[in-house]
Chains A and B, each alone.
Chain A
Amino acid sequence: MTKQQANWSPYDNNGGSCVAIAGADYCVIAADTRMSTGYNILTRDYSKITKLADKCVMASSGFQADVKALQKLLAARHLIYQHQHNKQMGCPAMAQLLSNTLYYKRFFPYYSFNVLGGLDNEGKGCVYTYDAVGSYERVGYSSQGSGSTLIMPFLDNQLKSPSPLLLPVQDAITPLSESEAVDLVKTVFASATERDIYTGDKLEIVVLNAEGIQREFMDLRKD
């Protein structure tokens, strides 16, 4: 008697890659806009990036239905927070909330690979990276999604973030300027697009700094 196998899966992977880089007083969050299923493209123009709070932006790849549900939940929780505290949630607070929300569904997870970017309470850039069930860490830069295996080693090479195992503890912050960080992101996605079939079409870049939020787009290879 062989074990019963499921004849369908509640999950699907819509592909795509996300990246975030923290600077001294800015944060860059980027993701491609291709949404796929299997070997097909569903749309070339789908945003994986959402603003959760004034100083907090999230990019998520994976199963976009779960991503959408997660975004809606966090937005509702943020509203409640604002009613109770009369102010917006800061990035570290949102980071913890996201972790708790993901772990809440530990036994039927959100198939969502998230990267949270924003400004911390001192105005410095911060990036938090997650797995599907809420394990998270503050880092200087991170990538998630189908292209992350191609992107991450390159970011490691360029950004030389000190190991958290080393003592004395060093800041997880990138000494790049904002425009250098944006250029790096563009380069990294252009490279990932070459070899990852699920990454391409268009790149959406969001920059968070003291002036607010700016958004820009860049074309990527469509094949």
Chain B
Amino acid sequence: MFRNQYDTDVTTWSPAGRLFQVEYAMEAVKQGSAAIGLRSKTHVILACVNKASSELSSHQKKIFKVDDHIGVAIAGLTADGRVLSRYMRNECINYNFTYESPLPVGRLVVQLADKAQVCTQRSWKRPYGVGLLVAGLDESGAHLYYNCPSGNYFEYQAFAIGSRSQAAKTYLERRFENFMGSSREDLIKDALISVRETLQGEKLKSSICTVAVVGVGEAFHILDQETVQQLIDSFELVREDEPPAPEAGDAVADQSEASAPVAEEGAAPMDI
């Protein structure tokens, strides 16, 4: 991206028909630490990498509960994300107050997108510098949406945003066709593996990632650190590109199965 003479205002078109300020805002999303979402028919998992600015500080909150049936993970300017989360929470509360029923996530993302669009057409505003992965449930099942600063939104089976998200996307592209029928545990494992892909060598442990779940019959909640560490331990030993898809919740079998931590197709046989 090079400096242009048409990039000072968001309300100035370039001769090629582009709004550079909006595109620069999307760059801000790519600078943030990674956030990943994937969904099956009944569950949506959000996972993100916790990057702290220094060893002394705590990491920023990137996953927010919006309502019992909706949660959001953000990447980019987290302050903008916080403000948008507050907006989303308010919308859900007001809708519930008026209609005594949960706000359908499809409606919420449209409202979010319209809100983002306003900032691309006012000279005294700037676009939001945050990408949002919105996970939610409605009557037709589980949904994952991505809202970007441009005001566009798309529904996804699985997606990753933020820095080094391409590695996660590559992994997800290979596996996404199976996600619709995946169990909750398999989805979480795939999410953790995607997070690991973005870490590029750094050890995956619960202190650097946050995982949240929402599903049919399961309100949106962020998993606590011990649970995440247990899940990491149950698959971490299988260190290859395509870990064998284990039985749902069969953590014990996993640990004894993968006795040889070598990158090989097919885990070592369970030999006792």
Instruction: Judge if A72 is at the interface, Cβ distance under 8 Å.
Output: yes
Instruction: Judge if B51 is at the interface, Cβ distance under 8 Å.
Output: no
Instruction: Judge if B97 is at the interface, Cβ distance under 8 Å.
Output: yes
Instruction: Judge if A176 is at the interface, Cβ distance under 8 Å.
Output: no
User: Which residues does chain B contribute within 8 Å of A83, judged by CB atoms?
Assistant: 65, 86, 89
Residue in A closest to B86 when the chains form the complex, CB atoms: A83
Q: Bits for A30-71, please: 1 = Cβ < 8 Å to B, else 0.
A: 000000000000000000000000000000000000000000
Instruction: Judge if A80 is at the interface, Cβ distance under 8 Å.
Output: yes
Contacting pair B97 A72 (CB below 8 A): yes
Q: Bits for A71-95, please: 1 = Cβ < 8 Å to B, else 0.
A: 0110010011001000000000000
What bracket does the count of chain A residues touching chain B fall in?
under 10
Contacting pair A76 B65 (CB below 8 A): no
User: Which residues does chain A contribute within 8 Å of B96, judged by CB atoms?
Assistant: 76
What bracket does the count of chain B residues touching chain A fall in?
under 10
Instruction: Judge if B93 is at the interface, Cβ distance under 8 Å.
Output: yes
Q: Which of B76-106 contact A (CB under 8 A)?
A: 86, 89-90, 93-94, 96-97
Q: Once bound together, how far apart are the Cα atoms of A76 and B91, in whole Å?
A: 11
Closest chain A CB from B116 CB (angstroms): 21
Closest chain A CB from B220 CB (angstroms): 12
Closest chain B CB from A161 CB (angstroms): 37
Residue in A closest to B66 when the chains form the complex, CB atoms: A83
Residue in A closest to B93 when the chains form the complex, CB atoms: A76
Q: Once bound together, how far apart are the Cα atoms of A80 and B97, in whole Å?
A: 13
Q: Bits for B122-145, please: 1 = Cβ < 8 Å to A, else 0.
A: 000000000000000000000000
User: Which residues does chain B contribute within 8 Å of A73, judged by CB atoms?
Assistant: 97
Q: Once bound together, how far apart are the Cα atoms of A209 and B245, in whole Å?
A: 46
Closest chain A CB from B181 CB (angstroms): 33
Residue in B closest to A86 when the chains form the complex, CB atoms: B65
Q: Which of B26-72 contact A (CB under 8 A)?
A: 65
Closest chain A CB from B88 CB (angstroms): 10
Closest chain A CB from B215 CB (angstroms): 20
User: Which residues does chain A contribute within 8 Å of B97, judged by CB atoms?
Assistant: 72-73, 76
Closest chain B CB from A101 CB (angstroms): 14
CB-defined A-B contacts under 8 Å, sample of 13: A72-B97, A76-B93, A76-B94, A76-B96, A76-B97, A79-B89, A79-B93, A80-B89, A80-B90, A80-B93, A83-B65, A83-B86, A83-B89
